[in-house]
Amino acid sequence: MKFETNIKKRMSGRHKASLDMENFEGKKILDIGCSHGWFEEFVGEKAKEVIGIDLNKKDLESARKEVNKKNVEFRKNSVLDLKEFKENYFDIIVMFDVIEHIPKNTEKKALEEIKRVLKKNGKLLITTPANNFSNFFYPAWYFGHRHYSKKQMKNIFKNSEFKIEKIKIKGGFWEIFNMILFYPFKWFFNMEVPLKDWFDKKRDKEYLKNGFVTLFVWGRK
């Protein structure tokens, strides 16, 4: 089966757990690193306004084609320069699997930009790979893909004067097993992982409880 980028095919337990992090109804939201617009597709009708930003022009074009909601907008922009947005504007800002991709040692600058455009007591939600033994099973980790421990994330938030309300780690062995297969099948064969639907069901169940693969962070300005 050929690898597909459409939103329904790419949804996983990790994405679903991200959507359950907060009640997004009636909120003004900035989605940093929106990719194909999966978050906007599922939250757009509930939220008051959602702006998704990304630096990948191709992903933005795909998001605009797939997501057709009047209160959703996509822009090319970087978390390191949010000057086009008003101060104290957003209720919630999300960064799902993004912080590990920004330039190294720019986390503090990114959170300072986020803090400027986030309302007082506004929330910052982040997911990122957890820094532990699961690193060794991520092919991308060997090529510089950053992972974070709870301690590292707490320091990043503290240095940017953000409060951390909660940190959890979810995802387990099925997520790791899927990742081992995902990269070679995508990169070399342009194919989906064999038995994808079966894997997805297993991964969904893992993200309903605590695990060791993905860090979920709830912060507040």
- Average pLDDT in the 190-215 region? 95
* pLDDT level of residue 12 (50, 70, 90 thresholds): very high
pLDDT in tens, 69-118: 999 999 999 999 999 999 999 999 999 999 999 999 999 999 999 999 99
List phi, psi (to 5°) of 53.
-120, 150
What is the reported pLDDT for 8?
87
- Average pLDDT in the 11-39 region? 97
- Can you list the alpha helix ranges (DSSP code H) found in the chain? 7-10, 13-19, 38-43, 57-66, 107-117, 150-159, 173-189, 196-206
> Is residue 120 scored above 90 in pLDDT?
yes
List phi, psi (to 5°) of 169.
-120, 130
Burial 54-90 (b: 16+ CB within 10 A, else e): beeeebbebbeebbeeebbebeebbbeebeebeeebb
How are beta strands 163-170 and 214-220 bridged, if at all? antiparallel
How are beta strands 163-170 and 118-129 bridged, if at all? unpaired
pLDDT in tens, 157-173: 999 999 999 999 999 99
Coil, strand or helix at 13: helix
* pLDDT level of residue 196 (50, 70, 90 thresholds): very high
CA atoms within 13 A on the CB side of 60: 16
- Please give the angle made by the CA atoms of 221, 35 and 101, to the nearest 5 degrees: 65
Say which CATH topology domain 7-220 has: Rossmann fold (3.40.50)
* pLDDT level of residue 32 (50, 70, 90 thresholds): very high
> Is residue 144 scored above 90 in pLDDT?
no
Stronger pLDDT, 215 or 145, i.e. the higher one: 215
pLDDT in tens, 174-184: 999 998 999 89
> Is residue 29 scored above 90 in pLDDT?
yes
pTM of model > 0.75? yes
> Is residue 3 scored above 90 in pLDDT?
no
- Average pLDDT in the 191-197 region? 93
* pLDDT level of residue 1 (50, 70, 90 thresholds): confident
* pLDDT level of residue 217 (50, 70, 90 thresholds): very high
Q: What is the mean pLDDT of the chain?
A: 95
What is the reported pLDDT for 183?
87
